[in-house]
Amino acid sequence: MTFTSDYIQALLTFPFRDAKWKEKMLVGSLIAFASFMIPFIPQLLLMGYGVQMARRMVLENAEPHLPEWDDWGALLMDGLRVGLARFIYLLPVFVPLIFGYLGMFGFIFTGVVLEENGGMGREAVEFLTPLGFLVFFGCFSMTMILAIPLSIVMMAVSTHVAVKQEFTAAFRFSEWWPIFRGNLTQYILGFILLLGLALAASFALQIIYFTIILCCLLPFILAVYAYYATLVYEAMFAQIYREGVQKLASL
């Protein structure tokens, strides 16, 4: 698979080629909109929808095709399996961030206490406050360093869980690691492409935010974008995973 302009165009337009794409987009957007107010359930349903599409692409060697919004229980279970796997794989990202916040507030609080009760005066605050911020930014930098490789790995893990329909498949490294390693370049390029698309979407949403009329529609536009981005994300990494499986089989 090569990231040509034709491929990117096909990837970005496939959600509009389904015969019932308008009805499916309406349902998906309403679920995404509900996720702004209701925790977990709408997000899992939307994730499960993308998971079902990805699984069909891999198992049937098919082009991306929008599933029906019908089996809500299956959608919820698919979303729960993949969502929980993603959460566990991203847990290491939050560890340095938590330590960063604790360190920052700890140093600031200690400085204030020493100023008030320790007789050290303003110098304690002036010394410990910058030190607290330095600790926070150091931990934040470590978070960003961890986030990039873990996010790329998570793409292969997510598709593997989707295909196997087992949560424990996320931890069967001997199954998904050869697929990931054999197509590592494509995963990295896919991540870069996704990052670029996300930045472009963020820029467009910023423009909408500063317009008087469209600003009122921003929550609805965000809901449509959340549905659309889920489809593009799952489709691209299902194709990369499928290519990795095929490469492995040809060895």
Tokens of 244: 């990795």
Among the listed ranges 46-55, 74-83, 124-133, 139-148, which one has the minimum average pLDDT value? 124-133
Q: Do 83 and 75 contact (CB within 8 A), yes or no?
A: no
Structurally, how many domains does the chain consist of?
Answer: 1
Nearest-angstrom CA–CA distance, 231 and 50: 6
Tell me what pLDDT residue 121 has: 56
Tell me what pLDDT residue 129 has: 75
Percent of the chain whose predicted confidence (pLDDT) is above 90: 63
Question: Residue 130: pLDDT above 90?
Answer: no
Measured CA to CA in angstroms, residue 160 lies from 13, 34, 117, 214 at distances of 25, 28, 57, 39
Nearest-angstrom CA–CA distance, 123 and 61: 67
Label residue 85 by pLDDT band (50, 70, 90). very high
Most confident of 7-11, 136-140, 207-211: 7-11
Nearest-angstrom CA–CA distance, 28 and 22: 10
Measured CA to CA in angstroms, residue 219 lies from 164, 208, 212 at distances of 35, 11, 14
- pLDDT tens figures, 160-208: 999 999 999 999 999 999 999 999 999 999 999 999 999 998 888 888 8
Gyration radius of the chain's alpha carbons: 22
Domain holding 89, by residue range, is 5-250
pTM, two decimal places: 0.86
Question: Which amino acid does the sequence have at 157?
Answer: V
Measured CA to CA in angstroms, residue 44 lies from 33, 222, 226, 249 at distances of 13, 17, 13, 32
